[in-house]
Every structure is written in structure tokens, then in C-alpha cells.
Amino acid sequence: MKYLDEYRCPNLAKKILDNIKAISKQEIKLMEVCGTHTVAIFRSGIRNILPDNISLISGPGCPVCVTSKEDIDKAIAISRQKDVILATYGDMFRVPGSFSSLEKEKANGADVRVIYSSLDALKIARKNPQKKLVLMGIGFETTSPTVASTIITAKKENLRNFYVLVCHKVIPPAMKAILDSGEIMINGFICPGHVSTIIGSHPYEFIARDYNVGCVITGFEPIDILQGILMLIQMIESGYAKVDIEYRRFVRADGNPIALKLMDEVFRVCDSNWRGLGMIPKSGLELRDEYIMFDVKSSFDIEIDSNDKSEEENLQCMCGEILKGVRIPPDCRLFGNLCTPDTPIGPCMVSSEGTCAAYFKYGDIKNR
């Protein structure tokens, strides 16, 4: 890439859009499974310029949003324990669990700290040897290598007060779960660019082979996304599904071997509970036996108070259905009323990459 303007050129965008309109003949639904793509699509107005027969659907691409309520409840319970520091990323701070949030717990006296890197958590643990530091490890394949590297460092330093609540998830099994559910027809996937820089294109091949659904890994600029859509339309109209890479300036078919090696050394795949999608086989990560001493389960008794009650608005939240792509934010009675970025009810409005937040900031909520 020489200049960013190359990927925001109006004339080039028009040429790609003209090609899309010329070859697309049928009703087509494409799902993006990356929160950054969701925001980029809204911000650049791509939904508004596509022909009416092409629909873009937002999927479970926000790691904060898909973190289960049960995992958030565990983090809250841990933060309430004596001599514990709970470290979390910013968006997770405000996400509601069944009865509270980490933000509320901090207001009530819990030592909850917002970090920008897993290495920040390591620094806090070093500076507070008398306390237990628990990192809430969330994110897809993009962030899990950095957490793996941090855990390796903690082991080398023999750091005895550092622990991780592992909530990491992997994307391809969730895409399979959406296809298997049959709740929504997907003709093609706009695959996540950040995740794919780590895992490459091979992990998506089963989707094209077993489901005849095409996948294109795209970047995040308007030209990237439009070109990715054009590549998918070409596949769909030809009747031949495959996995292709538009984002070739960063993504290789084999991914990032160093990052993959780090993940494989520290983690192994396990079943994982996703908000909205439920338990998905082999969609999460857990620590291998060699690193189990850093798992919160090895040192903490985590008890959820069964007397705590969910708020009524929380029960009405439709984030789960929105993450599956079967609903859109304006379908939710809370959206734009009780639920706004200033007063979020569900995680899809809390996270900057959440579908509800994107609809609220860039969509037409007046005519919902």
C-alpha cells in the first residue's frame, strides 16, 4: 500500500460498484463476522449504495459482545474477592452480567483496572506481589497470541500472583454454527481481516467445501470491502464457492506461523459458550496442563450469588438475536430509547465494535 487514498478513491469505488450491479442477478445475503468491518461498512455508507438485492448482515464479530453472561458473572465474582485485582479491556468494563457489571463493582470498591495490553496486567502483577492479579482474557485469534506470550513470560519469571480467566474464542466454528442453525440464509461471508492475519485462509475452507458458501477475507477500507463484495458476487453468480483473499497486503494463506505457534504452545481448543449462539464445540481456548497454574480455576473458588437478579431491561435485550444475524438493532424495543451508548443495556451497544453501537452512531434510528 503506497497511499491510504488508494483505498478511498471515489472513482475506483464507482467502478467496482458498477461491476457489482452489472453481475448481481439474485437476492444475496452476505454476513460480515468482524466488528471492525461492521463499523467500516456503516461509516463509509456501503449499505446505502449497494443494489437492493444485496443485503449485508452483521454477525458475531465483536469479542466483547459474544462473551457469555456466565463468564462476565465469573469475572464479577472474582473481583469481589479479597486482595484481588481484576484487569480487563475497556469495552468489557461496562458490559452487564446477570446482576451487575465490572464498572458497578469498581464503584462499590472492587479493584478493577482497565488495561490496553495484556502486558499492562503483567506490570500490575509485578508491582503488587501481595495481591492476586486476574486478567480477563477475551478476544478472538487476534488477541490470544499476545495473551499466550504474556503467560509464557509469567512462567519464565515464576510470577506466582498472575492468573487468567480465559474467555478467548475462535471464529470459524461460530460461522459453522450459524450455517447449521438454519435460522438465516447466508450466501457468502466477508471474513475478518485481523483474525485472518493470524490464522490465514485455510481454516475457512470447510465452509466452501461442505456448505458451498464462499468466503473472502477483506481489509477495512471502502475499496477493500467493495472489492470483497464483488469477489463474493462473482462466486455466487458462477455457482462455485471458494475461499479467497482480498486483503493480500497483510494476509497469507498459512497465516502467521509465529503467532500460531504461541497459541498452540499455551492453549488447546475446547467447547465454549457464546452469547446468543450457546455452546459451540471447539470454539474456545483453554490453558494446556503446562500452564494450568495460571488458570483462575487452579486457585479461586468462584461462586455466583444465586440471589442476585437480572434487571427487567436486561432480559428484554435482543443482543443474542442480533449476534446471530436474525434481528437488527431497530427490532429491539430498547434500542435508541432505554439503550444508548450513554446508558447501554446490552453488550452490542457497549462495545465500540457492537452492531447496536454502529447502528446508533451511523444508522437512521429516527425511522426505525
Q: Which pLDDT score is estimated for 206?
A: 98
- Higher-confidence residue of 25 and 3: namely 25
**Residue extents of the structural domains in the chain:** 29-361
pLDDT of residue 297: 85
- 310 — pLDDT class (breaks 50, 70, 90): very low
Q: For 29-361, CATH number?
A: 3.40.50.11740
For the chain, what is the mean pLDDT? 93
Q: Which residues pair with 163 in a beta bridge?
A: 134
pLDDT, position 164: 98
pTM (two decimals): 0.92
Say how far apart CA 77 and CA 308 lie, in whole Å.
11
Sign of CA dihedral 223, 225, 226, 228: positive
Judge whether residue 367 has pLDDT over 50: no
Say which residues have a Cβ less than 8 Å from residue 19's Cβ, sequence separation at least 6.
Answer: 230
Q: What pLDDT does 364 receive?
A: 59
Per-residue pLDDT at 368:
40
Q: Are 143 and 160 in contact (CB under 8 A)?
A: no
Which pLDDT belongs to residue 6?
80
Closest CA to 229 of 348, 54, 68, 64: 54
Q: Which residue has the cell 467445501?
A: 209
Tell me if 352 sits within 8 A of 39, measured CB to CB. Answer: yes
The answer to whether 98 and 69 have CB atoms below 8 angstroms apart is yes
Residue 157 clears pLDDT 80, i.e. is over it:
yes
Provide the b/e sequence for 57-86 (b: ≥16 CB within 10 Å).
bbbbbbbbbbbbbebbbbbbbbbbeeebbb
pLDDT of 198-217, one tens digit each? 999 999 999 999 999 999 99
